[in-house]
């Protein structure tokens, strides 16, 4: 693969007018076979014959959404079977090593990559994200631009995204929601946020259009961060201490104490085994009142404290269980 030099910090721009307006990217010499992928915040995943970067075809006139989607699909089709795209994906696989899953399949295109801040259970953490035309992949950064671990793969056809209002140091964020896992991520700038969301939405739309499926209405709860709750969010009495640990209800995402979350319930979209839920959600689920127990969501963390991340592992941050 020939990486594009000085790529902008955003997904590869396949949208009209999505070129890096700061500078004209120049292709660098092809790397040696063992060289890792260029893992700086992402930029254009365009490649012409022989792997050299090349400009896209002329974009459609502005304001014509249908043609814009066709433009992106044309670019994806152009890259799908290219040698440059295959090399790019192979290098991403090498960055994850033997513990990562194979990513190369016919028709898959690496759209873009970049570093986003993922709001984990304990604290915000930098994660490397890779956007493909059918999946979203992310992992822990071990060595910047060279090595990642704890690979996570999310099928895009199950993804719904929602913007989050800026609050304090948490700015330029959005929720990534799926039936099995939901969490918040933040970009460095509003422009990056916009481009990430636009590309993800277009990939999801294309996938659903091809498959004839409808978007999922069921999403896993987004967990409230540990730091947002000093007392149980259900009983409002139990104070959290090193002895009295925090737990998360897998249905609503609240931070609760042990006595308020002793029960377990089977949530098939999240786990094949019963998972911890709070007493409130258990009573609603047991009586069949599923709608009342749907995880609530707010665009503002201060309004409802229902933000961050969801994970089906028991109370450990999925990205770094040592936290």
* Distance of alpha carbon 47 from alpha carbon 109, whole angstroms: 11
Up-side HSE of residue 221: CA atoms within 13 Å toward CB?
A: 25
The model's confidence at residue 171, banded by pLDDT at 50, 70 and 90, is very high
Sheet-wide strand order for 135-143: 147-155, 135-143, 124-132, 110-119, 182-186, 173-177, 160-164
**Does the pLDDT at position 314 exceed 90?**
no
Task: Please give the distance of CA 112 from its chain centroid, rounded to a whole number.
Answer: 13
**Does the pLDDT at position 175 exceed 50?**
yes
- Number of other residues whose CB lies within 10 A of the CB of residue 260: 21
What domains can be seen in the chain, in order of their start residue? 49-211 (2.30.29.30), 226-304 (3.30.40.10)
**Does the pLDDT at position 127 exceed 70?**
yes
**Does the pLDDT at position 176 exceed 60?**
yes
pLDDT of residue 218: 79
- Number of other residues whose CB lies within 10 A of the CB of residue 102: 9
Angle at 70 between CA 68 and CA 71, to 5 degrees: 65
The model's confidence at residue 77, banded by pLDDT at 50, 70 and 90, is confident
* Distance of alpha carbon 196 from alpha carbon 28, whole angstroms: 25
Task: Please give the distance of CA 4 from its chain centroid, rounded to a whole number.
Answer: 23
pTM of the model: 0.68
- Tokens 């939405």 belong to residue: 201
The pLDDT tens digits for 190-249 are 999 999 999 999 999 999 998 888 777 778 888 888 888 899 999 999 999 999 999 999
Q: What is the CA radius of gyration of the chain?
A: 21
């Amino acid at each position: 693969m020939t990486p594009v030099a000085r790529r902008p910090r955003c997904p590869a721009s396949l949208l009209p007018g999505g070129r890096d307006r700061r500078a004209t990217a120049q292709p660098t010499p092809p790397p040696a076979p063992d060289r890792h992928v260029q893992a700086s915040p992402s930029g254009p995943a365009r490649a012409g014959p022989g792997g050299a970067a090349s400009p896209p075809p002329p974009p459609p006139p502005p304001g014509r959404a249908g043609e814009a989607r066709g433009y992106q699909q044309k670019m994806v089709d152009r890259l799908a079977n290219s040698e440059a795209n295959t090399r790019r994906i192979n290098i991403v696989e090498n960055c994850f090593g033997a513990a990562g899953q194979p990513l190369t399949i016919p028709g898959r295109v690496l759209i873009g990559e970049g570093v986003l801040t993922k709001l984990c259970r304990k604290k915000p953490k930098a994660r490397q994200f890779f956007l493909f035309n059918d999946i979203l992949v992310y992992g822990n950064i071990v060595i910047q631009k060279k090595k990642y671990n704890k690979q996570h793969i999310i099928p895009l056809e199950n993804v719904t995204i929602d913007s989050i209002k800026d609050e304090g140091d948490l700015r330029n964020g959005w929720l990534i929601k799926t039936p099995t896992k939901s969490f918040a991520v933040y970009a460095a700038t509003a422009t990056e946020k916009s481009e990430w969301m636009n590309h993800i939405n277009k990939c999801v739309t294309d996938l659903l259009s091809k498959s004839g499926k409808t978007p999922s209405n069921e999403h896993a709860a987004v967990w409230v961060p540990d730091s947002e709750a000093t007392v149980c969010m259900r009983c409002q009495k139990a104070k959290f201490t090193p002895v009295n640990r925090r737990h998360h209800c897998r249905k609503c995402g609240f931070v609760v104490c042990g006595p308020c979350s002793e029960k377990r319930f089977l949530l098939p979209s999240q786990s094949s085994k019963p998972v911890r839920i709070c007493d409130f959600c258990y009573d609603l689920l047991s009586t069949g009142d599923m709608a009342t127990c749907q995880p609530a969501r707010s665009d503002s963390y201060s309004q409802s404290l229902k933000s961050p991340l969801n994970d089906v592992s028991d109370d450990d941050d999925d990205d770094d269980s040592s936290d």
